[in-house]
Structures are given as structure tokens and as C-alpha cells.
Structure 1
Amino acid sequence: MPDTIAAAITAAVAALGPEASTARLDAELLMAGALGVSRSDLLLRHMRDPAPEGFAGLLERRMAHEPVAYILGTAEFYGLTLEVTPDVLIPRGDTETLIEAAREALTARPPRRVLDCGTGSGALLLAALSLWPQAQGIGIDRSEAALAVAARNADALGLAPRADLRRADWGAPGWAKGLGRFDLILANPPYVEDDAPLERVVRDHEPAGALFAGAEGLDAYRVLVPQFPRLLAPEGVAMVEIGARQADPVAAIAHAAGLATRLHRDLANRPRAVEMSVSR
């Protein structure tokens, strides 16, 4: 291994090769993890230090297409540091669009009750609770392992007293009995087509049950969206993540359920979220 951290990072970028579009960032994050420091601290203070022995093992895992977030065990979302494991999807910056769109929609009426359907790591629910300190939230997931990750994140962020995490499957009869109505519903459901080509870093490592949703990627919307009218408070909104080509079919599913819709785009100007509310 090269003697200094700077040299080791340069060698790692070359080893990861052109297939890794984020090779430099990945190498820096792994090196920071090996040292137990932040990336900014690494770049400012440690580039001339000796390379730590643990870096080689982390790099080997990344070269086998394991996601950096799973290697390090954490991911950032909406300013929060979250634990992630292979039991949950890795939170992505594009999904922050849902929180920003909800903040815009609810400026005049901050939500008091929030429901996160398919909470996974708890990213959406905990971001909402951090944004609205008066809110109480329920996060549901059918995976006990995912709920355990979400519970640890809620506890680490001091949000556990306001985050009620429950095992539930929105496709099962009676799953929402007794939940009441919500000012904000958040959902990042599975929406990838079953035969969609995915990068190995996603296909081989992230949970298939949180990714795939039938031949058109619409199966989860067809089950979940028609249930929103009886879950939304009178002026409540639902924010649902979509794939880049799903705006029209998801809006059609919502309209058939009596919901009005509004499309929100992410920072790359791609369709990212559909806002839904009860038509009046």
C-alpha cells in the first residue's frame, strides 16, 4: 500500500476504475471511515499521514460493488446521519425532494400527525419530525429488521418519543385500522420494473422487496394510493416518490381514487414526487 493517505487515495481511484463514477468520493469516504474522522477533517488535516491498514479491506469491499453506505454503516439524509444496513434502502439525496415539497405545501399548517409508509431506515419520517418539532409520527414497514434499524436511528437522533414504529403491510386487510388520519403521508414505495437493468451496486446489495414492483413498476402505487383518501386529514397531503417515467400513470391512479395531484421535480429537474390531496 502507498505510504501516505494522499497516495493511497490516488491509487484507490485508479483501482476503482472508470466504472465507478464517484471513485474519488468513494475513496475519500472510505479513508475517512478507516481513520474514524469526517471527510472534511481528512482532507484538511490527514492527507500526509500514513495510510491506515484498515483501508485496504474497505477498498476491497467497494471493488466488489458493495455500496459505500453499507461498508461504513451510515448515510446522510436531510442533514441527519442515519445507520443503514442491507436490510434497508440507502437514503438518497433525490428523496429529500419529498420533504422539501411537503415543507412548501404545509407552510401555513405544520403537520401534527405524519405517516411514513415503508419507513425502512426511518429517513423520511425522522426528517419530517426533525423539521416539525410539534409533530408525532408513525412509521410502518413489513420488515422487522428494517424497523429495528429505524428504531435505532430514532433513538440516536433523540426522536424516539415522537416516532411510533410498527410492523404493518399496506397490502394486508385491516392494516390501517385505528391509525386515524394524518396531515402528512410520506411514501417511497418500490417502483422499479422487475426487468429493469440496475447497476450491480444496487441490484446485488439493496433489498429487492424495497425496489421491485411488477412489470411496470406500478404495483405498489395501485395498492397504496387508493387508500390515501381515508387516511388523509381534510387538508392533509401525501408525498409519494416516483420513477422518472411514472408521473402520468401515478397521477392517473391518484385521480381514479379521487385525489388531486401536483408534480414536484428534483434538483436535476427530473420528476421525483407526486403530491396528492383529497379533491374538493
Structure 2
Amino acid sequence: MRIDELLKGAIQRLYSISETAQLDAQLLLAHVLAVSTSYFYTWPEKEVSAADISRFNGLLERRESGEPVAYLLGQQSFWSLNLEVAPCTLIPRADTERLVEVALSVLDIGDVNRILDLGTGTGAIALSLASERPRSTVVGVDLVEESVALAKRNAIRNQLSNATFIQSSWFEALEGNLFDLIVSNPPYIDPDDEHLSQGDVRFEPKSALVADNHGMADIEYIIQVAPRFMKQGAYLMFEHGYDQAIAVQTCFVEAGFIAVESFQDLGGNDRVTIGRLK
């Protein structure tokens, strides 16, 4: 079967379950054929072998069941990086790049800083900051051992030597350490949120998504404990839900932080809130 015929059928199959059916189909076929998606526009008439069609159909079936494309490919682009992804942790999303942008805005490029990423997952945030601030050192922690191993592989994959990753339940393994900046994309979804049964998140670990107290429990804990691990004047910042900015700001103020401010994502939703230690 020709490439263009194969893609046309695949797009039709995915149309009802994905808003990006064409892109999904192209990415999956490019993965099978080990080519870039631009190849399809140059060689649409190329014949695809029976073995590759079989592999492609297998991936399409998994996508039809709702499995995220990133898990099917085993990788995801984030910031300037290409990251290995796995079902042990969340898939990095474009909204989280806003947290990276805000973090970089408080870090002068020539300064030597110590940065902590809590709940690092794939290492996306930590490695993005490490790549943009090479004189700084970044520590990423995660409760899940498999995620720590994944983040370490991503550091090697992206040739970044100024980021290290350790297993820790939040600050548990960090006694005696002080940081200039702490960032986190913690679990912040209400356990009763109906979106947990929809789309890609059905395949992602609930422990990385859900927090008690309407999604605020982990954010509240981090704000209370973080000052013990922050240098004077250091920043703490979170990614959070679109409707949680006021609650997060309140927690910061009640804990004595100053310069509390929220920033919007590309969709115009409050997505990142920061505070500075007096």
C-alpha cells in the first residue's frame, strides 16, 4: 500500500477519537518507517511493506483505545529537548513550558544558582533550566524510582551534566541543602475531577495527577516546608490548575512570602504562581 493511501485510512480511523488525527497518524507512521514527517510530502507514492503496515496497525489500535501518542513513540519534545517518556510518569506538556519561562525570568544568565525541581518526573523542567543556565546546578527529586532513572537517562540523552536526580518524597532526602529557586509541577487535580476519566490522562499515573483538598494538599505542604530549604530572597513557584491561582496566592501570603504573583499560559489561564522568601 502507498504511503498516502495508508495515511488517509489511518486519519479516518483516528478522526473520532483525536483532535489531531492527521498529526497522530503521521507521527506513528514516521516512527515505524524511521523517517521524518516531511518524507510523506516528498514520497507519498512510496510503497510500505507488509511488516511495516502490521506494526503501524498495531500502533493505531493502541491509539484508538486512547493511549497517548507520546507513550506509543516513547518520546516527547519539550522546550529545546527531546525526552524519553514512559507510563511511570506524566507526559511533559506545553503548558509547563510557562513555568520554565517564569523560572528563567528570575535567574540571571551569568549567575551561579542552586535550583530544585520537586516531583521531576521525566526531568523536563529540571533539564530545561539546566540547559538554559549552564553555570547553575539543578537537583530533581521524585518519589518514584523508575521516574528518577528515566530523568537520569534524559540528562544523558540531552548531554546535560549540571543536573542530578535523586529519589525523595518531596524534601525528605534534602536536609541541609539550600536553594536559590524551587520549582514544582505537583499533583493538583481534584480526585473527583471528571477529566480524570477522559483523554490521555486515563493512561497516566494518578499519583502524579491527584491531590487531596481539592487538589491543593501537595502545594500547601510544599509552601509550608520549603522555607527551610531556601536561601534568603529565594523564589518558590508552581504550575497549578487554571482555577487555583487565588488559593495558591493565599497560601503563599499566609506563609509569609512576598512578591506573590500569577502568570498566564498561552490559553490565557492563570497557570504559574510564584512567591519570594523574605
Q: TM-score, normalised by structure 2?
A: 0.92
Aligned pair partner of 1:8 in 6, 9, 23: 6
Distance across 2 between alignment mates of 1:55 and 1:47: 16
What is the CA deviation profile of residues 22-60 of structure 1, one whole-angstrom value per residue up to 9, with x for unaligned ones?
Answer: 111111111111111223x33443432223322111111
Number of the residue aligned with 2:220: 222
Contact 2:3–2:40 at 8 Å: present in 1 too? no
Pair 1:63–1:108, CA change in 2 (3 A): closer
RMSD: 1.7
| Matched-pair contact (CA < 8 Å) for 1:170–1:223 | no
1:100 aligns with 2:97: no
Given residue 150 of structure 1, which amino acid in structure 2 is its aligned partner? A
8 A contact 2:109–2:133 mirrored in 1: no
Q: Gapped runs of 5+ residues in structure 1? A: none
Q: Distance in 2 between matches of 1:8 and 1:81?
A: 27
Structure 1 residue 111, shift from structure 2 partner:
5.0
**Deviations for 1:144-196, whole angstroms, at most 9, x for unmatched residues?**
0111110110111111x32221111027xx54312x22122110000011011
Q: Secondary structure at the match of 2:212?
A: coil
Partner of 1:122: 123
**1:245: which partner in 2?**
243
- Contact 1:129 1:135 (8 Å CA) reproduced: yes
Partner in structure 2 of residue 183 of structure 1? 180
- Is the CA contact (8 Å cut-off) linking 1:195 and 1:215 kept in structure 2? no
Larger CA deviation: 20-29 vs 231-240: 231-240
Cα deviation, 1:94-152, whole Å, max 9, x if unaligned, reads 10001111122224774521100001000000000000110111111110011111011
Deviations 1:11-32 (A, max 9, x none): 1121113331111111111111
2:31 to 17, 24, 33: 33
TM-aligned CA distance change 1:254 to 1:33, over 3 Å: same
Give the match for residue 146 of structure 1. Answer: 147
C-alpha spacing 1:43/1:100, structure 2 compared with 1 (3 Å): farther
Q: Is the partner of 1:216 in helix, strand or coil?
A: helix
Confirm or deny: 8 A CA contact 2:17 2:66 kept in the other structure. Answer: no
Distance 2:165 2:230 in 1: 19
Aligned residue number for residue 275 of structure 1: 274
2:190 partner SS = coil
Residue 215 of structure 1 and its aligned partner are, at CA, apart by 4.5
TM-score of the two chains, using structure 1 as the length reference:
0.92
What number of residue pairs does the alignment pair up? Answer: 272
Q: Which residue of 2 aligns with 1:262?
A: 261
2: CA distance, partners of 1:208 / 1:255: 29
In 1, the alpha carbon distance for the partners of 2:46 and 2:256 equals 62
Does residue 1:47 correspond to 2:44, yes or no?
yes
Separation of aligned partners in 2, 1:42 and 1:184: 43
Query: Mean alpha-carbon deviation: is it higher for 197-206 or for 260-269?
Result: 197-206
Amino acid at match of 2:136: A
3-state SS, counterpart of residue 204 of structure 1? helix
Percent sequence identity is: 35
Query: CA 1:32–1:228 in structure 2 vs 1: closer, same or farther (change >3 Å)?
Result: same
CA distance in structure 1 between the aligned counterparts of 2:127 and 2:109, rounded to whole angstroms: 21
Q: 1:83 aligns to what?
A: 84
After TM superposition, the structure 1 stretch with the greater mean CA deviation from structure 2, 208-217 or 76-85, is 208-217
Asked if structure 2 preserves the Cα contact closer than 8 Å seen for 1:229 and 1:259, the reply is no
Separation in 1, partners of 2:81, 2:125: 11
Give the aligned residue type for 1:262: E
Give the match for residue 170 of structure 1. Answer: 170
1-structure distance, mates of 2:180, 2:40: 43
Partners of 1:242 and 1:30 in 2: how far apart?
31
Distance change >3 Å, CA 275–CA 143, structure 1 → 2? same
